[in-house]
Amino acid sequence: MKLYEPHEIEERRQAAWEKDQLFRVSEDGTKEKYYLLEMFPYPSGRIHMGHVRNYSIGDVIARYKRMKGFNVLHPMGWDAFGMPAENAAIERGIQPATWTHENIDYMRKQLKRLGFGYDWTREIATCDVEYYRWEQWIFLKMFERGLVYRKSSPVNYCPKCQTVLANEQVEGGACWRCSEEVIQKELTQWFFAITQYADELYDYCDRLPGWPEKVLSMQKNWIGKSYGVEVDFRLEDGSPLTIFTTRPDTLYGVTFMVLAPEHPFSGVLALGTPYEHDVHAFIDRAKAQDRSFRAETEIKKEGVFTGKYAINPLTDTKIPIYIGNFVLMGYGTGAIMSVPAHDQRDFEFAKTFDLPLIVTIVPEDGALDPAAMTEAYEADGIMVNSGTFVGMKNREAIPKIIDFIEEKGMGKGKVNFRLRDWGISRQRYWGTPIPVIYCDDCGIVPVPYEDLPVVLPLDLEIKVVGKSPLAECAEFYNVHCPKCGKPAKRETDTMDTFVESSWYFLRYTCPQYDEGPLDRKKVDYWAPVDQYIGGVEHAVLHLLYSRFFNRVLNDLGLMGAREPFKNLLTQGMVIKDGSKMSKSKGNVVDPDYLIEKYGADTARLFCLFASPPEKDLDWSDKGVEGSFRFLQRVWRLVADRAEALQGVEAYLVPEERESDYIQLAHKIHKTIKKVTEDIERFHLNTAIASIMELVNTTYKFIEMERKEKAALSLLKGAIETVIMLLFPFVPHIAEELWGQIETGGRLLGAYWPVWDEAYVKDEKVMVVVQINGKLRDSCEVERDMEEAQLKEIIFGLEKIQRYVEGTEIIKTIIVPNKLVNIVCR
């Protein structure tokens, strides 16, 4: 018998796949397409176990779908722009481009060594000019449509990364990448108008049944849609002061207003009054508190009275106007109405400043005494003190009050979003240059399409200092204005790297197309991605940006699909010793080491078997050994009798009626069914478990030592089935074993086995007997037996008789072929 030598086998098989270009695909109208994609990696140097897991899952699905006859697009590429390349450049004096490409070369080899089947002719590296030139092209199209604009605003800035961060990239006041505390800085930035799509992005969350509930809820949470009304309060001089509220049912309980420090009225209301000095001192102080500080929990609510009053349009009551540090200028109108009786924040503020409470909603079965309240009543109830709305349920009153306000011209219904526009300017070098030129005379001038690409110079010296190297490269930024020809300056900021990953999955469909970003025919054949697989950490950032970008490209007429990813699978992290694998924790397992010790098939198998894809995977060295042992067991099963099986015809149905045969035949068909259905729903761990069971059953059959030809035929059928079912998981060993038994020239991987429903059902079934729901006995009977006959057998059981004796039988419940429950007293 040949020994199982994974390295030799794997190298040989991989070379053959490469030679035959096995995974290369093109559009084919005769087959159903299936676009399978895993999130592409950042080329950090080497792949880690998270990648191995992600891509192993993907490879199973890709190979399975191919066996099922789909035309499977399964590409791979590199999210190649980003800061680590610059840091490496600074630390080691190596060009970011060189560093990145060396990493890509190494990691590509690693992926190939794991045996993942990609169409490498479609490989993309986002740092290649042929990729980012089309991103610049898209930028210009977006600019024409007003989807890109420039504005000065306070931005999140990471002092360590020395660049701006989008709101989504700030996690609890810290940089998402390096965890440095984020500060506020006033900068002029480019923005993508993602808020124009906020409503649609929100609503479509309900039309993505193939996405995990969790991700959709995170996206909805982030977009933060809320229905309310804008109401015009009036200053005493008649000028309007508009607020936004989601609780118009509390409008009659407003006792004061609060403005954000940045509100245009904040600086002027107190002018010339005794309050002026205090107000300005407060505003200065509040503005100095940067965003991250303001975001801290338990920040004390502070405020100052402006000395001015406004009129509540519903009640004509005069109410004082305050400025408060807790009101955000960026949401709603930057001014709020305060209802201390029904909003906890307002309640606290009112207590501090000794402001009155007016109750407008009471619990259905009680009353509220403003003087006795220790917290705001935020729940639903019945309207009181509310003009014509008294007596209504507050929920029902809300739309009526909005109608009333609109009728009287006091305001209008409004939907607000938490989502902000996406700031994409980064003061970094290793990214896509923003294709814009600033001219003293003509202002902002987009680079003409014929001048694209704006190429990122590769021969720059990267220094530590704050400024982007591009801003110091005169050859780069000194240009002539495309409009008037006068000397002008090129934009030296680059784009956020999330821009590249927002459309790479579309470019895979036509990576060499040179007349535009997308070849409409090809992209419409493949898009949308049928199955996307990646880490849940991208639930908001990457996935939301991609949904936005896909819509923009759709609106630009570049493609037909509206949503980018039909189905999404978010895989869990790889955990070891209780925490995520990381260098700092010193608990990383190196894929190279695993491949060297056990081979790629074992590494893949363990990642797939140890836990279902969505869950975190607990690393276990012993578990890896177990996977290796299983493969050796399979190897022996086949290799030990490879010669004996030569020339034997494989049967999946028993030629003999003896129970050994029948049992094995049934097991084969049941396993095919189970594995098929499990792969379809991504229960890859249980799919493997059931293949293991088939292997165990096959060994048991062998122990019977049946020598007839029929036994060999069925055995061969079982073995062929094991190999075919294993192929998507561990393709190298499967192919090798397939080659060892003579299989009539059939090609492994070309088709998926089918089960015969007749053999899925056992001829004899074990029926368990319960008495009053408690398990008492069981017996084996013919399948689909007549109820009367079954009852006769059951009640004839000695044990059951003993239990039933002396009781009154109320009823007998029969679950066919499974269970009988006798209810008695």
Minimum distance, C-beta of residue 631 to RNA, in the bound complex (Å): 10
Residue 753 C-beta-side C-alpha neighbours within 13 Å = 28
Minimum distance, C-beta of residue 322 to RNA, in the bound complex (Å): 12
Residue 486 or 580 having the CB closest to RNA? 580
Q: How far is CA 821 from CA 773, 774, 817, in A?
A: 6, 8, 12
Rounded distance between C-alpha atoms, residue 292 and residue 173, angstroms: 5
**Residues 88 and 136: beta-carbon distance below 8 Å:** no
Residue 87 or 292 having the CB closest to RNA? 292
Minimum distance, C-beta of residue 773 to RNA, in the bound complex (Å): 3
**Per the structure block, which two tokens stand in for 178?**
């390096």
Residue 3 or 747 having the CB closest to RNA? 3
**Per the structure block, which two tokens stand in for 11?**
């190298």
Residue 677 or 742 having the CB closest to RNA? 677
Q: What is the DSSP letter of 168?
A: G
**Per the structure block, which two tokens stand in for 384?**
């009181």
Number of neighbours of residue 714 by Cβ within 10 angstroms: 28
Minimum distance, C-beta of residue 471 to RNA, in the bound complex (Å): 31
Rounded distance between C-alpha atoms, residue 156 and residue 174, angstroms: 9
**Per the structure block, which two tokens stand in for 21?**
């270009």
Minimum distance, C-beta of residue 217 to RNA, in the bound complex (Å): 4
**Residues 36 and 74: beta-carbon distance below 8 Å:** yes
**Residues 431 and 97: beta-carbon distance below 8 Å:** no
Query: Whose CA is closest to 803, among 770, 778, 762?
Result: 770
Minimum distance, C-beta of residue 760 to RNA, in the bound complex (Å): 10
Q: What is the torsion angle, in degrees rounded to the nearest 10, for the CA atoms of residue 50, residue 52, residue 54 and residue 59?
A: 180
Residue 31 or 629 having the CB closest to RNA? 629
Minimum distance, C-beta of residue 671 to RNA, in the bound complex (Å): 10
Task: Compute CA 329 distance to the chain's CA centroid, rounded to the nearest angstrom.
Answer: 31
Minimum distance, C-beta of residue 728 to RNA, in the bound complex (Å): 17
Minimum distance, C-beta of residue 343 to RNA, in the bound complex (Å): 6
Residue 259 or 439 having the CB closest to RNA? 259
DSSP 374-434: SS---S--EE-S-GGGTTSBHHHHHHHHHHHHHHTTSEEEEEEES---EE-EE--SSSPBP
Minimum distance, C-beta of residue 294 to RNA, in the bound complex (Å): 5
Minimum distance, C-beta of residue 109 to RNA, in the bound complex (Å): 29
Task: Compute CA 140 distance to the chain's CA centroid, rounded to the nearest angstrom.
Answer: 28
Phi-psi domain of 577 (left: phi exceeds 0; alpha: psi -120 through 50; beta: other): left
Minimum distance, C-beta of residue 315 to RNA, in the bound complex (Å): 17
Residue 174 or 710 having the CB closest to RNA? 174
Look-up of token digits 């020239």: 745
Minimum distance, C-beta of residue 15 to RNA, in the bound complex (Å): 29
Minimum distance, C-beta of residue 450 to RNA, in the bound complex (Å): 42
Look-up of token digits 């009353």: 367
Q: How far is CA 156 from CA 81, 170, 173, 175, in A?
A: 21, 8, 9, 9
**Residues 726 and 706: beta-carbon distance below 8 Å:** no
**Residues 188 and 155: beta-carbon distance below 8 Å:** no
Minimum distance, C-beta of residue 297 to RNA, in the bound complex (Å): 5
**Per the structure block, which two tokens stand in for 461?**
């010296």
Rounded distance between C-alpha atoms, residue 777 and residue 248, angstroms: 65
Minimum distance, C-beta of residue 620 to RNA, in the bound complex (Å): 6
Phi-psi domain of 639 (left: phi exceeds 0; alpha: psi -120 through 50; beta: other): alpha
Rounded distance between C-alpha atoms, residue 185 and residue 169, angstroms: 15
**Burial classification of residue 43, based on how many CB atoms lie within 10 Å of its CB (0-12 exposed, 13-18 middle, 19 or more buried):** buried
Residue 297 or 374 having the CB closest to RNA? 297
Residue 10 or 343 having the CB closest to RNA? 343
Minimum distance, C-beta of residue 373 to RNA, in the bound complex (Å): 17
Phi, psi of 146 (to 5 degrees): 75, 20
**Residues 162 and 471: beta-carbon distance below 8 Å:** no
Query: Whose CA is closest to 80, among 58, 115, 107?
Result: 107
Minimum distance, C-beta of residue 327 to RNA, in the bound complex (Å): 4
Rounded distance between C-alpha atoms, residue 92 and residue 462, angstroms: 10
Residue 481 or 617 having the CB closest to RNA? 617
Residue 460 or 638 having the CB closest to RNA? 638
Phi, psi of 587 (to 5 degrees): -120, 30
Look-up of token digits 């996206």: 219
Q: Which amino acid is at 374?
A: T
Q: What's the maximum distance between 2 C-alpha atoms anywhere in the chain?
A: 109
Query: Whose CA is closest to 516, among 21, 131, 110?
Result: 131
225-235 and 411-417: which strand pairing?
A: antiparallel
Give the helix, strand, coil percentages of the chain, each rounded to 5.
40, 20, 40
Q: What is the torsion angle, in degrees rounded to the nearest 10, for the CA atoms of residue 699, residue 705, residue 710 and residue 714?
A: 0
